[in-house]
Amino acid sequence: MRASQIGAYAGRTAGGITVDESWRESDGLVNTSSARFPAGAPSRQLNRDQIHPGIWNVFPTVEGDHMWLQVD
């Protein structure tokens, strides 16, 4: 039953956050939207040459399997 409910919610939370289809993308544990940065927080796409303190410097989404990632 729970599997049929995943991704079924759409609307506005009590805190005013809009949850829509973009929240369905997931790594299997956490949806991608909430994993990037807190909703409403200042953010920008990561530029390793210009790191901005005080805001979320957002890494690009990596496509692939967890076993595919390697740490060098």
The pLDDT assigned to 66 comes to: 66
- Nearest residue to 19 via CA among 30, 4, 34: 34
pTM: 0.61
Is residue 1 pLDDT above 60, yes or no? Answer: no
pLDDT at 45: 94
pLDDT in tens, 5-58: 767 788 898 988 888 888 888 766 778 888 888 888 999 999 999 998 999 999
Beta-strand ranges (E) seen in the chain are 11-12, 18-19, 43-45, 56-58
